[in-house]
Amino acid sequence: MIKKPNLPVTAEQILKTGILNQWYLVCKSSDLGATPIRLTRLGRHIALWRDAEGKAHAVEDFCPHRGAPLSHGLVVDGKLACRYHGLAVDGTGTVTDVPPVHNCPLVGRKLIEGYPVREAAGAIWLYFSDGIDDHVPELELPNELTSPEWSGFIYAQEWNCHYQLPLDNRLDPMHAIYLHADSFTLAYGVKTSVINLTETEHGFVIERDNQRGVNIDRTEVVYKPGSNVFVFTQIPYPKAAGGNFFAIVSHLTPIDEHRTYLWVMRCQKSQGWRRDLWRFLYKNRLEARHDYVIEQDRAIIEAIPAEAAGREAMIQCDIGVSRIRRMLKKIAEEQARRINEHYGALAAE
C-alpha cells in the first residue's frame, strides 16, 4: 500500500491549514538576503535561500540524510548545503552532492519537497500543491500589485490567530465605524447600513448602501483557481488628506492552525506630482495612522476565543463573512475529494 504524503485529507483539515494548489505571499523580498531563512507556512516548515544571482529557492526544511534543518545550512554554488554533513539540495528538493561519500546513490534523487518560487511586487510567492500532478499555474497578480499606474507599500505581520478571523474582518465593513471611530480616514459616516452583496464571475462584491465616497466604499473578493482569494477594499480619503482614495489588497497566508501571516498592500492609482505627494504623505503621516488602525484589528481579533465560531449569532452586516466561509468550504471539499480519490486509487493498485 502506498502511503499518502503529509497532506490534509478532509475539508476540515484543509480549512485549518490553508487551501492548496494556490500561490501564497510568504514574506517580503527584503526578508530574504544572503543567509538562508526558515518560515512556517500552511503548517509546513520551509527553508528559503538566494543563489549567487539573487534568485530565490525554497524546499522543505528537512535534510534527507538525518533530518537536520536545512535553514541552518550554507549556500554553496547556488545549492543549499546542510551544516551537519554537507549534503546539498537544489530548489526542486533533489540531492546534488553528498561530500562524505564517493559516488553516493542519493545524488540525483528528489527526496524532499521543493516549492515553485516567484518574486514579484516586492514579495516572495510560493506555490503549495496537493502533489497530484506537476502542473504549476503562472502567478497571476492583480493590477494594483503589478501595474506602473499603481504605487503601494506592503504591510506584513504575524498574528496569533487562525487566518479565518482576519479574513472575516476584511469582509466586515461595519466594524470600521465602531472599532476605528478615532481613525483619520474612517471616522466618518453613519453607524447603520444595509450591506448589499453582488455575485461576480470570479467572486462577489459587498457594499454599504449609504456610504459611497464617505467611508469604506466597497470590498470585492476575486478567486481564480491556481491563484488565490484576493480581497480588494477601497477607502476614501477625507479632503484634509488630499481626497481621492486608497486601496487595500491582500490575501491571508496561514502559518499554522493558530497563526497567520497577515499582509496587505496599501496602494493608490495616481500619476505625476499626485503620486509623489501620496507617497510622501504615506511615509510621513499616513503609514503610522494606518498601522494604528490595523493594531486595533489585531488586538481584538487575537482576543476572540477559538470556540467563538460555534456560538456566533450572525446579523445582516455579516453577509460577506458568511459568503466567504461558504466559498472556502466548497473549495476545500472539492480538494479533499480530489486528494482522496487520487491516493485511494493508487492504494488500490
Average pLDDT estimate for 98-104: 94
Distance CA 275, CA 263 (A): 22
Average pLDDT estimate for 290-311: 91
Query: Of 58, 74, 55, 76, which is closest to residue 112 (Cα–Cα)?
Result: 58
pLDDT tier at 133, thresholds 50, 70, 90? confident
pLDDT tier at 21, thresholds 50, 70, 90? very high
Distance CA 14, CA 128 (A): 12
pLDDT at 4: 44
Which of 64-73, 181-190, 273-282 is the most confident on average?
A: 64-73
Query: Of 188, 181, 180, which is closest to residue 212 (Cα–Cα)?
Result: 188
> For residues 209 and 196, is the Cβ–Cβ distance under 8 A?
yes
Query: What's the Cα-to-Cα distance from 142 to each of 90, 101, 152, 194, 232, rounded to whole Å?
Result: 30, 48, 13, 28, 10
Distance CA 159, CA 261 (A): 6
Q: Residue 243, class by beta-carbon neighbours within 10 Å (0-12 exposed, 13-18 middle, 19+ buried)?
A: exposed
The three cell numbers locating residue 203: 467572486
pLDDT at 324: 96
Distance CA 37, CA 202 (A): 35
Per residue in 230-281, pLDDT (tens digit) is: 999 988 776 665 566 788 999 999 999 999 999 999 998 888 988 898 899 8
The three cell numbers locating residue 182: 478615532
Task: Please give the share of the chain, as a percent, with pLDDT higher than 90.
Answer: 71
pLDDT at 346: 56
pLDDT at 200: 95
Q: At a CB cut-off of 8 Å and minimum separation 6, what does 202 contact?
A: 222, 223, 224
Gyration radius from the chain CA atoms: 22
Per residue in 140-177, pLDDT (tens digit) is: 999 999 999 999 999 999 999 999 999 999 999 888 88
The three cell numbers locating residue 278: 501620496
Q: At a CB cut-off of 8 Å and minimum separation 6, what does 254 contact?
A: 17, 18, 41, 42, 43, 162, 163, 260, 261
- Pick 240 or 82 by higher pLDDT: 82
Q: Walk across the sheet containing 95-97 and list its strands.
A: 74-76, 79-81, 88-89, 95-97
Reply yes or no on whether the pLDDT at 3 is more than 50: no
Distance CA 138, CA 226 (A): 8
Q: What is the mean pLDDT of the chain?
A: 90
Average pLDDT estimate for 121-150: 93
Nearest-5° angle of CA 150, CA 55, CA 134?
Answer: 90
Q: Residue 83, class by beta-carbon neighbours within 10 Å (0-12 exposed, 13-18 middle, 19+ buried)?
A: middle
pLDDT tier at 139, thresholds 50, 70, 90? very high
Task: Identify residue 287 by its one-letter amino acid code.
Answer: E
Count of all residues that appear for the chain in the document: 349
Average pLDDT estimate for 197-218: 83
Average pLDDT estimate for 345-349: 55
What 8-state DSSP symbol labels residue 5? P
What 8-state DSSP symbol labels residue 119? E
Reply yes or no on whether the pLDDT at 62 is more than 90: yes
- Pick 89 or 285 by higher pLDDT: 89
